[in-house]
């Protein structure tokens, strides 16, 4: 049945986000003395601690964290929450390893994108083009997963069609990203982060109330599924899965370019330090909290998976419907929808910067052409819109199992960027050829092994991609001529 009460909070939230993006745009125009590109793609390096933390969290935390992951936790048990806890390391790794050095180097070089930094370190246009294409491809994959996850949730909870949900927040997110640029995305991300927390609290209240309280819910789970109370979940959570999840959603997340770009945009070191501490507090509450809700929903949804449509992606939507009245359900779904649109908006602006700044503008500058700010502004808006519309169109026919799509893109981006970034900033002997082989060879090995379903020791294919990328980076770098001293001085002093 269609629920007007369910749709109102979503519409109010989207309108509010749109207004914030418009205000951010006005402020951008007033603060754009450093040029449109600097403002639109990096917000004039003006992010404070709170917004920096929230925009990183909201970019990282996607609809997969809110729907797919908790759905899996419903099936696996506390082992899945234990595994999700590894994500508490993501912010301190990003800010601690790359935060200061990226900020220093990018300011020195005048770089406004991650690819700018990579291009200048390795002095390679081919590497920059490869990085841009890989980034846009995997970003598009992730964005499709976000659109689909959000729209499915909307359909399930409100009773309105999947297409209406897709149109509603698809159009809103494309509009407010195009209008607001990086600053607009960061500000709306902060709003989304707060809303995500509210969604978790509301749903927790619903589950505990419907299940007869925490003790009753836990006793129900322990009685029905005792294996869910064990870390290995009766074999459903093997040690190999823990290991690869540590790599995928823990250790290597600091190399995700959509997160790394945030280290170019903060104001000062105080902001970075406070974002690290408070971000870890909030991210932990969010990831442990939302995944725990998946387990606790097993105390409310006690039938086999087939009774809920046969997909774990239906568990959280079903829990919302089963445990909350329509008006509260509307508020609860704003959380995952906020997670979805905050990820899409960040990826959209990063994709747009890859196309506009890293490919088009760089090519024009090389040919000695000067492009006026007004033309760049118009083109950036059009490219952001075009990428958004393309992804939107691909989402109309939904693929299945959101968290797997998300993990595929995570693995691809980590494989492509981890050694290239580490080599750029911390290894003088890393060379242009080493970086190029590492990026292309690693991604090719990862995608091929994924397509063939080939695994080593039963581990996720990220292990293959990362290993091939590392070996190629080291061997090819050592076999080729080192980068020139002048370039190295900027990166190593």
Partner 1 sequence: MLSNGKLKSYQEKLAQADREAKATVVALFATIAAWVVLGFGLAGLDITLFHTPLWVIGGTLGTWLFAIGVCVFLERRVFVDFDLDEDEAAADLQTSAEAGVAHE
Provide the phi-psi class of 43: left if phi over 0, else alpha when psi is between -120 and 50, else beta.
left
Binding mask 221-260 for partner 1 (x = CB under 8 A): -x------xxx--------------x----x---------
Q: Out of 11, 20, 75, 101, point to the residue binding partner 1 (CB under 8 A).
A: 101
Binding mask 291-330 for partner 1 (x = CB under 8 A): -x--------------------------------------
* Per rule CB under 8 A, count of chain residues that contact partner 1: 46
- Of 339, 242, 428, nearest in space to 347 by CA: 339
Indicate whether 386 belongs to the interface with partner 1 (CB under 8 A): no
Indicate whether 470 belongs to the interface with partner 1 (CB under 8 A): no
Q: Encoding tokens for residue 256?
A: 């995700």
Are residues 67 and 404 in contact, defined by beta-carbon separation less than 8 angstroms? no
Q: Which residues of 85-123 are buried (b: 16+ CB within 10 A; e: fewer)?
A: ebbbbbbbbbbebbbebbbebbeeeebbbbbbbbbbbbe
Closest approach of Cβ 82 to partner 1, in Å? 4
Indicate whether 426 belongs to the interface with partner 1 (CB under 8 A): yes
Indicate whether 269 belongs to the interface with partner 1 (CB under 8 A): yes
Indicate whether 454 belongs to the interface with partner 1 (CB under 8 A): no
Indicate whether 371 belongs to the interface with partner 1 (CB under 8 A): no
Indicate whether 365 belongs to the interface with partner 1 (CB under 8 A): no
CB-wise, 385 or 488, nearer to partner 1? 488
Q: Encoding tokens for residue 133?
A: 């294409």
Report the Cα 482 to chain-centroid distance in Å: 34
CB-wise, 49 or 441, nearer to partner 1? 49
The three-state secondary structure class of 266 is strand
Indicate whether 276 belongs to the interface with partner 1 (CB under 8 A): yes
- Which residues between 59 and 78 bind partner 1 (CB under 8 A)? 78
Residue with tokens 């109330």, as numbered in its chain: 209
Part of the chain binding partner 1 (CB under 8 A), chosen from 104-112, 154-162, 338-346, 386-394 = 104-112
Give Dmax over CA atoms of the chain in angstroms: 72
Closest approach of Cβ 188 to partner 1, in Å? 25
> What string of DSSP letters covers 213-226?
SHHHHHHHHHHH-G
Indicate whether 38 belongs to the interface with partner 1 (CB under 8 A): no
Residue with tokens 């309105």, as numbered in its chain: 160
Closest approach of Cβ 197 to partner 1, in Å? 15
- Of 409, 411, 406, 419, nearest in space to 462 by CA: 411
Q: What is the 3-state secondary structure (H, E, C) of 113-155?
A: CHHHHHHHHHCCHHHHHHHHHHHHHHHHHHHHHHHHHHHHHHH
Q: Encoding tokens for residue 4?
A: 């007007």
Indicate whether 5 belongs to the interface with partner 1 (CB under 8 A): no
CB-wise, 247 or 391, nearer to partner 1? 247
Q: Encoding tokens for residue 246?
A: 């540590």
Part of the chain binding partner 1 (CB under 8 A), chosen from 8-16, 96-104, 198-206, 467-475 = 96-104
Closest approach of Cβ 89 to partner 1, in Å? 5
CB-wise, 92 or 327, nearer to partner 1? 92
Q: Using alpha carbons only, what angle is made at residue 289 by residues 283 and 294, rounded to the nearest 5 degrees?
A: 130
Return the sign of the alpha-carbon dihedral for residues 98, 416, 188, 32: positive
Q: Encoding tokens for residue 336?
A: 């995952």
Indicate whether 98 belongs to the interface with partner 1 (CB under 8 A): yes
Residue with tokens 């981890």, as numbered in its chain: 418
CB-wise, 26 or 489, nearer to partner 1? 489
Return the sign of the alpha-carbon dihedral for residues 99, 102, 108, 109: negative
Indicate whether 288 belongs to the interface with partner 1 (CB under 8 A): yes
- Measured between alpha carbons, how far is residue 144 from residues 95, 232, 245 in Å? 28, 32, 22
Closest approach of Cβ 428 to partner 1, in Å? 12
Closest approach of Cβ 264 to partner 1, in Å? 11
Indicate whether 218 belongs to the interface with partner 1 (CB under 8 A): yes
- Measured between alpha carbons, how far is residue 80 from residues 85, 154, 193 in Å? 9, 25, 22
CB-wise, 53 or 450, nearer to partner 1? 53
CA distance 363 to 403: 37
CB-wise, 214 or 454, nearer to partner 1? 214
- Which residues between 185 and 214 bind partner 1 (CB under 8 A)? 214
Part of the chain binding partner 1 (CB under 8 A), chosen from 95-103, 160-168, 315-323, 327-335 = 95-103
Residues that bind partner 1 (CB under 8 A): 78, 81-82, 85-86, 88-89, 91-93, 96-98, 100-101, 103-104, 107-108, 214-215, 218-219, 222, 229-231, 246, 251, 268-270, 273-274, 276-277, 280-281, 284-285, 288, 292, 426, 491-493
């Amino acid at each position: 049945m269609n629920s007007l009460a369910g749709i109102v909070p979503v519409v109010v939230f989207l309108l509010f986000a749109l207004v914030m993006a418009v205000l951010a745009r006005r402020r951008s125009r007033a603060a754009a003395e450093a040029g449109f590109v600097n403002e639109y793609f990096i917000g004039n390096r003006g992010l404070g601690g709170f917004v920096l933390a929230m925009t990183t969290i909201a970019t990282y935390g996607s609809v997969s964290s809110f729907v797919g992951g908790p759905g899996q936790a419903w099936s696996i048990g506390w082992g899945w929450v234990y595994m999700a806890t590894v994500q508490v390391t993501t912010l301190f790794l990003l800010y601690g390893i790359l935060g200061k050095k990226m900020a220093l180097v990018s300011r020195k070089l005048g770089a406004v994108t991650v690819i700018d930094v990579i291009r200048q370190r390795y002095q390679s246009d081919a590497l920059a083009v490869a990085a841009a294409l890989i980034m846009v491809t995997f970003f598009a994959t992730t964005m499709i997963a976000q659109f689909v996850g959000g729209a499915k949730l909307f359909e399930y909870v409100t009773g309105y069609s999947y297409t209406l949900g897709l149109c509603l927040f698809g159009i809103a997110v494309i509009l407010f990203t195009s209008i607001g640029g990086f600053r607009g995305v960061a500000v709306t991300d902060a709003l989304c982060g707060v809303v995500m927390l509210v969604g978790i609290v509301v749903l927790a209240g619903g589950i505990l109330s419907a299940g007869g309280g925490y003790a009753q819910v836990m006793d129900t789970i322990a009685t029905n599924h005792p294996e869910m109370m064990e870390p290995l979940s009766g074999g459903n959570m093997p040690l190999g899965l823990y290991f690869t999840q540590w790599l995928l959603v823990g250790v290597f997340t600091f190399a995700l370019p959509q997160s790394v770009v945030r280290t170019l945009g903060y104001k000062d070191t105080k902001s970075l330090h406070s974002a690290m501490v408070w971000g870890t507090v909030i991210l932990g509450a969010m990831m442990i909290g939302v995944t725990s809700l998946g387990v606790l929903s097993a105390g409310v949804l006690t039938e086999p998976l087939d009774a809920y449509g046969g997909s774990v992606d239906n568990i959280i939507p079903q829990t919302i419907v089963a445990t909350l009245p329509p008006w509260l359900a509307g508020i609860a779904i704003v959380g995952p929808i906020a997670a979805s649109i905050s990820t899409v908006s960040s990826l959209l602006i990063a994709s747009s910067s890859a196309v506009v700044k890293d490919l088009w503008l760089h090519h024009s500058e090389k040919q000695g052409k000067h492009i006026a700010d007004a033309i760049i502004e118009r083109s950036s808006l059009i490219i952001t819109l075009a990428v958004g519309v393309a992804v939107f169109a691909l989402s109309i026919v939904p693929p299945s199992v959101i968290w797997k799509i998300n993990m595929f893109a995570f693995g691809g981006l980590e494989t492509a960027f981890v050694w290239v970034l580490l080599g750029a900033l911390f290894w003088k002997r890393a060379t242009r050829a080493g970086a190029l082989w590492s990026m292309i060879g690693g991604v090719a090995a990862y995608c091929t092994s994924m397509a063939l379903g080939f695994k080593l020791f039963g581990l996720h294919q990220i292990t293959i991609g990362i290993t091939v990328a590392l070996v190629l980076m080291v061997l090819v770098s050592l076999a080729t001529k080192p980068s020139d001293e002048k370039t190295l001085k900027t990166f190593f002093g």
